[in-house]
Amino acid sequence: MQALRGVGNAALGEWHEWTGFVYHLKRRLTAKEQKPVGDAKDIRGTPEAAARRMKVLRYLPLEVRDWIE
């Protein structure tokens, strides 16, 4: 939490998740942080998503390589 102090805007949305393996903290960006990045895009199920998945597939643990959202 200390590492993320001053990053994002928790008031716009913040989610905590413990998977049993890693802890995730997701937080909305501030308007200033989002400006150079642009709006988020849902690419699930698109050719772009498939291409990105193929690039990282070899780094994934065997037990999750077949998982697709």
- What are the extents of the domains in the chain? 10-61
pLDDT band at 2 (very low <50, low <70, confident <90, very high): confident
Instruction: Name the 3-class secondary structure at 64.
Output: helix
Greatest alpha-carbon span in the chain = 38
pLDDT tens digits along 23-67: 999 999 999 999 999 998 999 999 999 999 999 999 999 988 888
Confidence (pTM): 0.55
CA–CA gap between residue 60 and residue 40 (Å, rounded) = 24
What are the C-alpha distances in Å from 68 to residues 8, 12, 49, 53, 59? 28, 28, 10, 9, 15
CA–CA gap between residue 15 and residue 37 (Å, rounded) = 20
